[in-house]
Structure 1
Amino acid sequence: MSQTPATGDTGTVSDGNPAGRESAETESNKAARKRRRREPPPDPAPLPGLVDAHTHLAACGGRDPDAVRAILDHAESVGVQQVVTVADDMVDARWAMDAAQWDHRAYAAVALHPTHAAELDDDAKAELEQMVADPRVVAVGETGLDYYWPGKSESCATPAEQAEAFGWHIDLAKRIGKPLMIHNREADRDLLDILASEGAPESVIMHCFSGDLNVARECVDRGFMLSFAGTVSFANAEELRAAAEIVPDDQILVETDAPFLTPHPYRGQPNQSYCLPYTARALARVRGVDDAAMAGILGANARRVYGLPLQ
């Protein structure tokens, strides 16, 4: 327990008091941690051939052509050749569409995130249907179920609203013939049951896969793609690494979900697509393969499932 000055003291602890030094050092450490959280991670060693299967360029600051180009130039310098930038709401969907037009290395996925499912009115449906017909849009997403936020956020859609919107997005992906990008948080069973009852599209991508080994096996058996973010490198993610180990070579993807989920040892710092090689190397260690071979597998899978051209 830290000591406090005696009653009547001026509040100044003398330089000779060890408790004073400890307090100052603690404050200094806290300040240093805050500074580190604002600092971007250093560039990883280049790992050519990668595709960031899920990022949010607008949330990373990419809201004009110059900013998008800077983000993608940085990513390309370490081997990340293409990215899929993803929408959460209609405003985000328009940003994603813009980014995909501004830079040939960016492609878009558009949908309403499950927490925004209540916003799926007739106007939103019509606009999304128009958007997904664009060749620069390579997936319908992110859509799905999120059982974490209901009850914690007044603006979050209810589970019933989420399920209804999810069903509409599933149908849209099947009608347009493009992959369905899934957001799943604490809703494994219901989400898989809805996919089964509605009939899954040919290509389903489990974005930022977070399930256990049993869920991973069920997704693999159904032919889904499992996309792993920086969470797979976290110290407490043993179950997630076990899931990553059993996914067949042709069903695994890698993503940043930037600006979130920065991989170890930079957890909590700002994330961008240039950080993707850290997670790709973490997957290579989990799967016991060479880094370059892992990058080749991950990049080829993303280009196949999204229909991206070779760079």
Structure 2
Amino acid sequence: MVIDSHCHLDRLDLTAYGGCLESALQAARERGVGHFLCIGISVENAPVMRAMAARFPDVDCSVGVHPLDLSRGSEPTMQWLLNELDHPGVIAVGETGLDYHYQAETAQMQQESFRLHLAAARECGKPVIVHTREAKQDTLDILSEAALPQAGVMHCFTEDWPMAKAALDLGYYISFSGIVTFRNADALREVALQVPSDRILVETDSPYLAPVPHRGRANFPEYVVDVAKFVAELRGVDYSEFAAQTTDNFKRLFPLARVQVS
């Protein structure tokens, strides 16, 4: 069994599955995907996340506000975060973090929101899902400042080994998406070789970033198998061993996840 540790089920184009989310999930299950973590990105989609978790026993969710959604009037408050996090099936905080690639002008707003999410994570004891792009030092500084005992995960990691090492030293896990399979991702593959086996996760970030051999098409949770097989081969380990290891890592990081081991 392998787990898709980061997907956006509410954003999938389900045309290929007859418009049916259950069919898309079943296609993933048939490839050996045993659990899904559906990620919150805004105030508006938090109820949708909770409904997903309530509907499917193999789907858990997070709630939070993505840094690129803040400028759309989706600023969270501490009370809102704590209320939303206090629901069954909500196992993590986020997606939160910093993205200076698209909205460097909102850096201060992003930093304030990031700190708010980390404070909420400390309050509720749930791990945090971190997005970072072109904001390496500020991300590390804020994570270090927060010093969360339960840490979290650097999702869809695309940075260099020094940043990965710094995040690992702070207790964070590193998650790889389909980007690691891309032709120009040699530097990222070097990082994937160095992350300790007990701190690595895999994800799709679907519907974005479909891995080779699906690149250029919509991404779906079933393709986490392709990511995991690629990283396993890269690291020179058996796929079933790697899938079991990343499943154990996921369960350790997200102890409230309703993962059923068959």
TM-score (norm 2): 0.92
Q: Provide Cα deviations, 1:227-260, integer angstroms capped at 9, x if missing partner.
A: 0000011111011010011111110000000000
Match of 2:178 among 230, 254, 267: 230
Give 3-state SS (helix, strand or coil) of 1:139's partner. Answer: strand
- Whether the 8 Å CA contact 2:96–2:114 is kept in 1: the answer is yes
Structure of greater relative contact order (alpha carbons < 8 Å, 6+ residues apart): 2
- Whether the 8 Å CA contact 1:68–1:103 is kept in 2: the answer is no
CA distance 1:220–1:125, shift in 2 (3 Å): closer
Aligned to 2:240: 292
| Residues 1:310 and 2:257 are matched in the alignment | no
Aligned to 1:50: 2
- Whether the 8 Å CA contact 1:57–1:85 is kept in 2: the answer is yes
Q: Provide Cα deviations, 1:180-201, integer angstroms capped at 9, x if missing partner.
A: 0000011111100011123234
Q: Provide Cα deviations, 1:175-222, integer angstroms capped at 9, x if missing partner.
A: 100000000011111100011123234222001011111111212222
CA distance 1:255–1:288, shift in 2 (3 Å): same
- Between the aligned partners of 1:149 and 1:200, the Cα distance in structure 2 is 27
- Between the aligned partners of 1:71 and 1:265, the Cα distance in structure 2 is 18
CA distance 1:61–1:129, shift in 2 (3 Å): farther
- Whether the 8 Å CA contact 1:54–1:256 is kept in 2: the answer is yes
List runs of 5+ in structure 1 lacking aligned partners: 1-48, 152-156
AA partner of residue 195 (structure 1):
L
Larger Rg: 1
Aligned to 2:98: 145
| Residues 1:178 and 2:134 are matched in the alignment | no
Match of 1:59 among 8, 11, 15: 11
- Between the aligned partners of 1:90 and 1:70, the Cα distance in structure 2 is 27
Aligned to 1:280: 228
List runs of 5+ in structure 2 lacking aligned partners: none
- Between the aligned partners of 1:240 and 1:99, the Cα distance in structure 2 is 32
Match of 1:161 among 109, 112, 120: 109
AA partner of residue 234 (structure 1):
F
- Whether the 8 Å CA contact 1:52–1:84 is kept in 2: the answer is yes
Match of 2:37 among 84, 100, 125: 84
Matches within 5 A, 1:1-311: 49-61=1-13, 67-118=20-71, 119=73, 121=75, 124-150=77-103, 158-307=106-255, 308=257, 309-311=259-261
Give 3-state SS (helix, strand or coil) of 2:122's partner. Answer: helix
RMSD (Å) for aligned C-alpha atoms: 1.7
- Whether the 8 Å CA contact 1:145–1:166 is kept in 2: the answer is yes
How many residues align? The count is 254
- Whether the 8 Å CA contact 1:173–1:201 is kept in 2: the answer is no
- Whether the 8 Å CA contact 2:81–2:120 is kept in 1: the answer is no
